Structure 1
Amino acid sequence: MEESGFKERLRIYIQTYVDRITPHMKKRWLITSILLFFFFQRVISLKGYYVIAYCLSIYILNLFLRFLTPIMSDMEDEESDNPVLPMRESNEFKPFLRKLNEFSFWKNTFIGTVISVYCTFIESLDIEVFWPVLVVYFIILFVATMRRQIAHMYKHGYIPFDFGKTTYQSGKLRGRED
């Protein structure tokens, strides 16, 4: 009985902390970037744990692709040529909804990085590999998947980022005089 009370208090504490950090996007990403830098600096200085770095890189690439993809996208069925987003002005406006929202992207990246840093302290996880092969393979995988993602974005006419988009000020409506 005492264990469930502890779990509930821990869950409430974690949720309170998550609620506090949610609106601070730049600070969250800055801390995660510093942690990633620390992790890769540790991998370079130890001259090992390349497999862990490779796994973390693939994991973050997968999260990034889910972050760039609309929720209703069907990238696997590109040959069917059925557009997901509206292609004509007569279609109803549908906002860009991601498969993975920014907060979940950050949270999963942060947790993955923390686990990876922890793994660098476990000597049995330092598997001998020829690291240049992993780097070349990751670059090929990154270029191939991003080329496919950018082609999909271009084909369906969506931009998943806010920069370059038209913004409107609240309280000012076009064609209306107060």
Structure 2
Amino acid sequence: MMDPASGGDGGGEGGGLSWALSAWSLGVSRRYQHLLDKATPYVLRRWVWLAALALAYAIRVLIAQGFYVVTYALGIYVLNLLIGFLSPQVDPEIQALVDDGAGPSLPTRSSDEFRPFVRRLPEFKFWYSITKAFCVAFVLTFFSVFDVPVFWPILLFYWLVLFTVTMKRQILHMIKYKYVPFTFGKQRYTSKKPASSDDAGLSSN
């Protein structure tokens, strides 16, 4: 017969192993989030690293001469992210329907109060999502099951048409509601300071 004590010890060891794995997973998650937080202010370096990753993926696809369906899916995903990056957090059209134009809106004149452009998809999440997508697509190129035979010029043509139509609609939306999806810092208006009597005396000396 099996000793009950041995069964208890096995359960204890299993529980200890589960706790150790959970603690290790939590530690890795915290370390990973810490690295992401440290990388947040380095915008240029992050995008240069992403460009290098995209170049490596392109070289991999050219060498393999395949995985065009994976590349097409990657292009569609990046296009969706780009639309979110260029769109305001609150659609002016929907906001106008909700409060009949009485609510806050994007400034359209220089005399309006300055409001920075708030994106639906922030820059860091935009970069992070594209980076993850390229990493996943790069890994998929090592599995032949994803190398579906297809005439790639058709996919390229369809993606270009979809990109043109989508960006045209987005640009027309920008023109209609007079917003620019880029903020270059708060506008500052300075006026000439009137010369005081002390300044006049100093200048005369």
What's the CA shift string for 1:97-125, capped at 9, x where partnerless?
10000000000000000000000011111
* Higher mean C-alpha deviation, range 23-32 or range 92-101: 92-101
Deviation of residue 174 (structure 1)?
A: 4.0
- The one-letter code sitting in structure 2 at the alignment partner of 1:106 is W
Please provide the CA RMSD for this pair. Answer: 2.6
| 3-state SS of paired residue (2:150) | coil
- Determine which of 67, 77, 81 is the counterpart of 1:63: 81
TM-score under structure 2 length normalisation: 0.74
What's the CA shift string for 1:80-110, capped at 9, x where partnerless?
7x77534567865433110000000000000
TM-score under structure 1 length normalisation: 0.84
CA distance in 2, matches of 1:32, 1:53: 16
- Determine which of 136, 160, 168 is the counterpart of 2:181: 160
User: Which residue of structure 1 aligns with residue 126 of structure 2?
Assistant: 105
CA distance in 1, matches of 2:61, 2:92: 37
Equivalent pair of 1:49/1:120 in contact (CA under 8 Å): yes
User: Which residue of structure 2 aligns with residue 94 of structure 1?
Assistant: 115
Quick one: structure 1 residues 74 and 126, their matched pair in 2 at CA, closer, same or farther if it must change by over 3 Å?
farther
Identical residues among aligned pairs (%): 36
Deviation of residue 32 (structure 1)?
A: 0.5
Quick one: structure 1 residues 22 and 88, their matched pair in 2 at CA, closer, same or farther if it must change by over 3 Å?
closer
Deviation of residue 176 (structure 1)?
A: 5.9
The reply to whether residue 37 of structure 1 matches residue 55 of structure 2 is: yes
CA distance in 2, matches of 1:49, 1:41: 12
| 3-state SS of paired residue (1:121) | coil
CA distance in 1, matches of 2:135, 2:67: 14
CA distance in 1, matches of 2:110, 2:41: 34
Larger Rg: 2
Runs of 5+ consecutive residues of structure 1 not aligned to the other structure:
none
* Higher mean C-alpha deviation, range 132-141 or range 35-44: 35-44
CA distance in 2, matches of 1:174, 1:67: 36
Runs of 5+ consecutive residues of structure 2 not aligned to the other structure:
1-18, 195-205
| 3-state SS of paired residue (2:21) | helix
User: Which residue of structure 2 aligns with residue 24 of structure 1?
Assistant: 42
Matches within 5 A, 1:1-150: 1-73=19-91, 85-87=106-108, 93-150=114-171
Equivalent pair of 1:48/1:128 in contact (CA under 8 Å): yes
- The one-letter code sitting in structure 2 at the alignment partner of 1:70 is P
